[in-house]
Structure 1
């Protein structure tokens, strides 16, 4: 096994307490829960409750999510320039948890009557929610770089993060539908958001920052040029961006696929989302054993290849509930194997780039990765709405046209298949990186004294 295959130094024993790793994972339970709610139920809310046309929805998803993408680098610059909290990232996680929950509730509010008023409110509330989300998720994503420089710790943190993320997916699929059914969209989402605000603050109560992020005073163009010279960062950024398109397709089309292709109710779509959460969490857990033995690139390749095979079997299978659930679970299980590996590679790619280019700008490095991911999320959201419009989807029609059903099927199964194939190709471009590069960066780390 060579280092080109993806193994990294770091020892075999975790230095971080278990409670910190578990608490860190809860942050992405909220983050991924937000993605799930806005990527599935909010889209469904806009088309089937508000009555927004698919074309209007496509424009909203594209423009708003592009704006959200640009807010990430702004937050990264604030962190690198010591704009708030003296360069610490934990206070962001603490102070923006409640505003994030309130902004989510606002997206499902209907304070204005009339199509024009509701459309304007949708734009304003959704734009505000995404900007506030940047102030939470970018600092949260940087926590592994401030908690430890050890590869084993970062892989473990990535694993717990992905367990939290997939648990968030499960809760979105299992708790949100009954909450909406019993209390309506506004009150149901409000209860979920209130619980999410409390959970989102747990990392700030338990986790500790031990490594100070070095400030970056260089011109922005110099910093961005250093990122583009870091091949490892570029490859991981592309791979994670593709993953967001995959995730958007599953979230965005699950309810539509259940109702209009399978002929089942919306609850079955929620069940598929719940299954996605449970089985991805299982895949993430298995990844912590598989990835260190196979290497990063082989683990990702194996996961996506098996996931693509599962998609074909799901498409060919008869409309039997238990069989469809089982096959979809396998698809998501193998997707889950790749997730913690991606985030471990990202954390180390940021450190490696600092050594290779001499530019230390962890905030902008992570936020530009998040920018690319959110741009892909924007493209995915636009793709969901565009496919619905292309197929002639009518939110008020009980029975959809054959073209609409074909568009939904391609979005739910075809898009993830294409993403898997492209991801396998992209990840092969990840360069071999010497252990000395990572270790030299670790030696230069700025350690925060114990309190």
Structure 2
């Protein structure tokens, strides 16, 4: 990485100011918000509104996400080789967010087609959504690496990013179903596409804000190493491997909460669908406050401890949620606490990711920032695909019947396992895997100061 301005600028205050760090959050308000719409409501839209079977949706979500995941490494390769925009990442946020918003709308556009035509249109819309999402989120994710080298600033940027992401989650949960009702007047087939048209346009414009407000103080070195060398350097970087796997598992957790909240509220708890939307909103609220508390915990427990302790506490809260009486207040409080503890891990994951990229460059001598982040995003998409497909498959395996007055005990059990059991399994596995991430002492030995500590 080379400096495109004198190095003394950072010492004289050229580091990102508060306004710049806050504006950086807008990228993930939209990224998490629009992609969260597909995670929260697309499964319901396809099965209950558009008339696709749960089995076909499960296969769709798995195949499309895996196929479009290839776009992430390709975009990273383009950035590393400076094929587009001279290797700069901000211009991507000028040209592609509106296309991302358009793709979101197309996914919820119920074209009057036959059964095979409907399925084909769903494949096209989801493929376009994944590719345009990559064109926005891969360069956006690399912004901290070109905005600052200061470890504390990167942690701060990660915190603001996660606040933006969780705010996007809150907006998705709080506004989507009321908007569908308002625009459709009870007709979900009309309400969903109008809602998504508005969300796509507004979201596309908001996602452009970091292009105008964030500054690239450093440039990513163009690494001309052959692709096998780039990939080999990543396989030698255990810090990057550990955080990539754990962050990917987190996406599976998110798909369980996003995709099955409406089903769990309506079919297991016997409550209105709006309660499922409330749970999604509470997920956003809990994670916002958890994100804000994360730096406090990092200073006391370190990065790995700030993953392990909150995951243990989140499992405890989720277990209490499961056995709690079916009353709105305790359910809402326990679910909010579950997401609060999970939210503590989010800034640490992204700070770890940014630092692991630089760590890998130092231990391997190969600079592959674009490839490292894009493959991380690739595995995140695969995990998102697996989680979405698993949620749909659980509905099919349990014998879920759309619009049925009541579901069978088997169907309710499968929904419960998806909503409660899958996140519990993710937390257990993540606690074990995060121990593979290098300790602070190891990171300091490779390069001082520690990137997760304040630079002197």
User: Once the two structures are superposed, what CA deviation does each residue of 1:251-296 show, in whole Å capped at 9, x if it has no partner?
Assistant: 0110000010010111100000000001100000000211122101
Assess, with a 3 A threshold, how the Cα gap between structure 1 residues 322 and 400 changes in structure 2: closer, same or farther.
same
Find the partner of 1:341 among 348, 361, 364. Answer: 348
- Aligned counterparts of 1:208 and 1:371: Cα–Cα separation in 2: 26
Q: Does 1:277 align with 2:284?
A: yes
1:64-86 CA deviation, whole Å, 9 max, x = no partner? 01012111101101111111100
In the alignment, does 2:251 pair up with 1:244? yes
Superposed counterparts of 1:390-405, under 5 Å: 390-405=397-412
Which TM-score applies when normalising by structure 1? Answer: 0.93
Paired residues of 2:395 and 2:411 also in contact (CA < 8 A)? yes
> Partner of 1:449 in structure 2?
none
| CA distance in 1: counterparts of 2:347 and 2:449, whole angstroms | 24
Equivalent residue number for residue 155 of structure 2: 155
In 1, the alpha carbon distance for the partners of 2:443 and 2:301 equals 18
The answer to whether the 8 A contact 1:176-1:192 is kept is no
CA distance in 1, matches of 2:438, 2:306: 16
Contact kept in structure 1, 2:443 and 2:450, CA below 8 Å: no
Aligned pair partner of 2:389 in 382, 385, 406: 382
Contact 2:145–2:354 (8 Å) recurs in 1: yes
Q: Tell me, what secondary structure is at the counterpart of 2:52?
A: coil
Q: Quote the Cα distance in structure 1 between the aligned partners of 2:405 and 2:233.
A: 53
- What does the per-residue CA deviation read over 1:338-371, in whole Å, with 9 as the maximum and x for residues that have no partner? 0000100000000010010010010000001111
Residue in 2 that maps onto 1:360: 367
1:398 Cα deviation after fit:
2.3
2:310 aligned with 1:299, yes or no? no
Tell me what 2:434 maps to: 427
In the TM superposition, residue 34 of structure 1 has moved relative to its aligned partner by: 2.2
Distance in 1 (CA, whole Å) between partners of 2:155 and 2:44 is 36
Query: In structure 1, how many angstroms separate the alpha carbons of the residues matched to 2:447 and 2:31?
Result: 29
Return 143-152 or 191-200, whichever deviates more: 191-200
* CA offsets 1:296-355 (integer angstroms, 9 cap, x no match): 111111110000000100000000001100000000000001000010000000001001
CA contact (8 A) 2:73 2:374 kept: yes
* Structure 1 stretch displaced more, 98-107 or 26-35: 26-35
Tell me, yes or no, if the aligned pair for 1:26 and 1:200 is still in contact at 8 Å: yes
- Distance in 2 separating the partners of 1:52 and 1:398: 19
Q: CA deviation at 1:396?
A: 2.9
Query: Does the CA-based 8 Å contact 2:34-2:203 persist in structure 1?
Result: no
Moved more, 289-298 or 403-412: 289-298
Following superposition of structure 1 onto structure 2, how do residues 74-153 of structure 1 map, counting pairs within 5 Å? 74-153=74-153
Q: Cα RMSD over matched residues?
A: 1.6
Q: Partner of 1:38 in structure 2? A: 38
Runs (5+) with no aligned partner, structure 1: 1-9, 443-451
Who is 1:20 aligned against?
A: 20
Deviation at 1:35, TM superposition (A): 2.7
Specify the alignment match of 2:225 in structure 1.
218
Q: Secondary structure at the match of 1:366?
A: helix
- Asked if structure 2 preserves the Cα contact closer than 8 Å seen for 1:14 and 1:152, the reply is no
What is the CA–CA distance in structure 2 between the aligned matches of 1:213 and 1:438, rounded to whole Å? 19
Per-residue CA distance 1:69-113 (angstroms, 9 max, x = gap): 111101101111111100000000121111110111011112332
CA distance in 2, matches of 1:201, 1:229: 35
CA distance in 2, matches of 1:407, 1:123: 26
Superposed CA offset, 1:146-192 (max 9, x none) = 00011000000000000000000000000111111111011111112
Q: Alignment partner for residue 309 of structure 1, among 308, 316, 337? A: 316
SS, match of residue 90 in structure 1: coil
Q: Does 1:229 align with 2:236?
A: yes
Per-residue deviation, 1:121: 0.6
Tell me whether 240-249 or 287-296 shows the greater mean CA deviation: 287-296
Q: Aligned pair count?
A: 432
Distance 1:357 1:36 in 2: 36
Distance in 1, matches of 2:349 and 2:39, equals 22
Distance in 2 between residues matched to 1:322 and 1:440, nearest whole Å: 46
How far residue 436 of structure 1 moved from its aligned partner, in angstroms, is 5.3
Q: 1:437, CA displacement in angstroms?
A: 3.1
